[in-house]
Amino acid sequence: EPRFLLGLSVIDKLKQLKVIVPVLVLTGDVDKGRKNILMELAPTAKQAFIKNAGHVCNLENPIGFNNALNSFLKNTKTIPDQ
């Protein structure tokens, strides 16, 4: 949860940045129908839905979470130094 790491103003901070790194948004399928602001703030982000999970998908379905993360990392190209 980014708010725990960056504080409640994470949305304001992200609005000021141009995200140039690969981003994966992992979402439990319970939240599938809800709007995810991170997808708007990082328009090139990819979103993966974790089956049988809610807001804490890494704890509720760790195997699904790890599979989605590993797939993303395996298929993500590195960005050269700028």
**Tens-place pLDDT, residues 35-45:** 888 888 888 89
Supply the pLDDT for residue 59.
94
Residues with pLDDT less than 50, the chain: none
Q: How many CB atoms lie within 10 A of CB 67?
A: 13
